[in-house]
Structure 1
Amino acid sequence: MIEEQGRVVAVESGAVWVETLRKSTCSACSAKAACGQGLLNQLGAGARRGYVRALSGLSLQVGDAVVIGVREDLLVRGSILVYLLPLLGLFMAAGLAQWLALGEPLVILAAFAGLLATWYGVRRYSLRSSDDPAAQPVVLRALLAAEGRTETLPVSK
């Protein structure tokens, strides 16, 4: 499970909204001067706060520090859906247009049509599966700060 620490900013029935700080590892990379990500980090784009809705069975309040988690397989599946499938749609549509011996402008147009059609399919799939509890982040534990020490409350599975 991939874990991230954050702070509760809103509470719903059975879920909380958690604010996290996006971290960058650019300071540890030797190629930071020649990297676009390093440039964005220097411009301040890497220090944005993100808001995540996470399922929770704990009694939490606004301001509580929590650790949220996402299953690794969900991250891999999401990456494949968002990055790989639209590219495959682009290449398959362009290849089909090329196989049909269409002119270059039509091959380019077919490639964009394949990209957009696949993107639309991915978007519809993600909207349909957005309510699936197995595909959402969960609060793993709450961090309690009492008299200068931090304790963790494990979440029962």
Structure 2
Amino acid sequence: MIIENGRIVSVETEGVWVETIKKSACGSCKAEKGCGHSLLNKWDGHSAYIWVLLDGRDPAQYKLGDEIQIGIPEEVIAKGSLLVYLVPIISLVTLTSLAHAFFAQEAITTLAGFTGLAIGGLIVRWHSWRTRFDRELQPVLVDERKTLRFFQPVEQH
């Protein structure tokens, strides 16, 4: 579970909106000076807002401005990264290869590559929209008010 600190900016009945403090990841990474994310983070004044489910907790316990910790399972980040990076690249290479095999013209091959990249991006966007309410993919609150449920493998007898 990757833990991130944040501040509550809105409380609703099912969850809270949290403004994340992005510096925690950038401060602990050894590649900070050569990282594009770190550079953009310094220039960009925008904050990141994340919807976090309360998972049965009473919303009255949380107030605007409360500092909280949220957790995101590692497998969610790993699978999401694979999806976001591999699907567009695979569709780009596939359409480029097909166009080159059937047409062998540079302009058509290039256009097919850009089309494949766009199709891959649309697939990622569609998958993101389709799974936006999946409870397994949502960040969770990490606090003493309710214990976290971790996956426990079932023992075979």
TM-score (norm 1): 0.79
Which of 115, 118, 143 does residue 117 from structure 2 map onto? 115
**1:50 CA displacement:** 1.7
Mapping for residues 2-151 of structure 1, pairs under 5 Å: 2-23=2-23, 24-25=26-27, 29=31, 32=33, 35=34, 37=36, 40=39, 44-45=42-43, 48-56=46-54, 57-58=56-57, 59-141=61-143
C-alpha displacement of 1:37? 2.8
Q: Distance in 1 between matches of 2:37 and 2:4?
A: 22
1:25 partner SS: helix
Alpha-carbon distance in 1 for matches of 2:130, 2:29: 39
Q: Mind listing any 5+ residue stretches in structure 1 that lack a counterpart?
A: 142-151
Report if aligned partners of 2:9, 2:18 keep a CA contact under 8 Å in 1.
Answer: yes
Alpha-carbon distance between aligned partners in 2 of 1:20 and 1:139, rounded to the nearest angstrom: 13
38 and 109 in structure 1: CA distance in 2 versus 1, 3 angstrom threshold: closer
Aligned-partner residue type, residue 37 of structure 1: G
Residues 38 and 106 (structure 1 numbering): CA distance in 2 closer, same or farther, change over 3 Å?
A: closer
The answer to whether the Cα contact below 8 Å between 1:7 and 1:64 also exists between their aligned partners in 2 is: yes
More strand per residue: 1 or 2?
Answer: 1
- Whole-Å separation in 1 of the counterparts to 2:16 and 2:72: 15
Paired positions, count = 143
Secondary structure class of the residue paired with 2:142: strand
Name the Cα RMSD after superposition: 2.5
Larger displacement relative to structure 2 (83-92 or 46-55): 46-55
Matched to 2:147, the amino acid is V
Distance 1:2 1:74 in 2: 10
Matched residue of 2:136: which SS? helix
Give the percent of matched residue pairs that are identical in Structure 1 and Structure 2: 34
Deviating above 6 A after TM superposition, structure 1's stretches of 4 or more consecutive aligned residues are: none
Q: Is contact 1:89-1:118 (8 Å) kept?
A: yes
Which structure 2 residue ranges, 5 or more long, are not aligned?
150-157
Provide closer, same or farther for how the CA distance between residues 93 and 156 of structure 1 changes in structure 2, counting only shifts above 3 A. closer
Amino acid at match of 2:98: L
